Every structure is written in C-alpha cells, then in structure tokens.
Amino acid sequence: MSKKRKCPKEVLDLTLDKIRNNRLEKVNLIWIEACGCAGDIIALLDGNNPDMPYFFSEMVNMTYNNSLMGSEGQKAFEKFLETLDTEFILAVEGAVTVRDNGIYDIIAEYNGKSISGAEAITLASGKAKYILAIGTCAAYGGISAAKPNPSMSMSLQEFLGKEVIRVPGCPANPQWITSTIAHLISYGIPELDSEGRPKFLYGETIHTNCERRSYFDRQIFAEKLGDKECMYRLGCKGPITRADCPIVRWDDGVNWPVGANTPCIGCASKGFPDENESFIKL
C-alpha cells in the first residue's frame, strides 16, 4: 500500500504520462450499475483531464457496462464472462439489492436466465484485482438503502463481507473516480482511511477548504439562502463531510454547491441521507 500522499492531479498526470510513453498497459474495467440512478456513470461522462474519450480509449478497456457498451443482450454478458479470465478492476455503482434473490435489479439475460446485479457482482468480485464502490449507494447504501428500504439494499462491502475501496459521493466527482483508478494502475492501492476511502481525496473536511471558512472563523453566519456568509447555521454539513469538493469542484471546475449558494448536504458521508436530514434549516 502506498504511504505517500499524492494529489488527484499529480496521480492523473503521472499515469497519463506513463501511458502515453508506453510504460503502462491499459487495464480491463468491469463497471456494474446495481440498484441506483446511474448518476455516477453519467457524472463520469462529464469528466475532463482526462476527458472520457481518452479515459476509455487509452487508460482503461471498459469491457462491460450496462449503459455504455456497444454489445447488447447475451453478447454483452458474454463479454463480462470473458473478462473474468483476465486481470481487471471491478467498479460497482449503486447499492446491492438482495430481496427476493435480487430480482429487483436484473442486469442481463443469459441462456434464458435472468442475472441479477448481486449475482454478477459475486462472480466478478472473486476474481477482480481491485474492487471499487463508486458513489454513496455502493459505498454506504445511500439513497437506495434509505428507510424503509423495501428492496433490502446494502453497501457493496456489507454484501461482499470484505473490504473494498470506497469512492463515495452522490454522485462521485469524475476526478475522484479517474484519479483513484489512475492510482491503482500506477501505484496500486492508495493510502486509505478507516472507512476505506483514498486519503488523497477524502483526507480533509469540506469545511477545511471552503471559500466561506473565514466567515465561520469570525462567527459571521448567513441568515438566509443567498447570503454570502457561512451557511453552517442553515444546516451546512461541510464540517463533518470529508471530500475535496471545494478544490476540484464540478462541471470541469465551474462551481460547487456552496459556490451556488446551497449548503453542503453531506452526500459523501456514511449515513446519507437518513442521518443528515434535514438538509437545510430555515
């Protein structure tokens, strides 16, 4: 396990340089969309540095994904099965639903049999070199496992009964995903915190780097949404949420929730959403 802390941009730049100079080979990637909204794969498509054409053509060989692959039906699942005999990374977004043998999350039909997300994850996890829980639903259960949880959804780690690399967020920022995969390609498993999150992404609270931190330090607080001061008293969860949203931001660095005058709702935290409500205090 790497002990040296690296920033996301450093990890990405070094990995891209190695790939461009033929010092690294592309890695196979299976990405399973389990019980969720597909928000993480959609967010990934909006990524930059690297942009997604480069990510998919040069960094990874995505052999299976419910939404993006060209193959359909049984041929698609055959690609999944073929990949199991190679070296690959398994990425799962969405929680794993187990009620009624996972029938509420069917990802494929193979030889006349319905294949649930839970079954596919079980097959792939036993052979994957690395396992990633992408997004808060996969990492902690998230919205999919929120009360009353009729689908009996659970986090990937809870389902598998073994540790995984968690990349939470609702959705996960594309740079969190690509930089974690880049670290696995170049250096192996990054230094992880006690919850299995890469420390170079989740090592500090949002509060630490918030652009409104000076207002908090001077105890100057917003009284209503739209005020420029610290939104802690309006329910902002930045002090208890670990992620680098204020640094990488969203939409290719254009903005982030606090910059758009809304409190952080702690979407990257364990217990979201149930333990974080109410999101805004007025």
Phi-psi region of 98 (alpha: psi -120 to 50; beta: other; left: phi over 0): alpha
Tell me the C-alpha distance between 143 and 209, whole Å.
Answer: 26
- Picking from 199, 200, 263, 196, the residue whose alpha carbon sits closest to that of residue 236 is 263
Quote the DSSP letter at residue 276.
G
Q: Is 35 annotated as a binding residue?
A: no
Closest-CA residue to 28 (of 61, 53, 52, 55): 61
Closest CA to 127 of 193, 56, 74, 63: 63
Tell me: is residue 264 an annotated ligand-binding position: yes
Q: Give one DSSP letter per residue of 157-194, joined into a string.
A: HHHHTS--EEE--TT--HHHHHHHHHHHHHTSSPPB-T
Phi, psi at residue 180, to the nearest 5°? -65, -45
**Ligand-binding site membership of 7 (annotated):** no
Binding residues for [3Fe-4S] cluster: 245, 264, 267
Binding residues for [4Fe-4S] cluster: 37, 137, 170, 207, 210, 230, 236
Binding residues: 37, 137, 170, 207, 210, 230, 236, 245, 264, 267
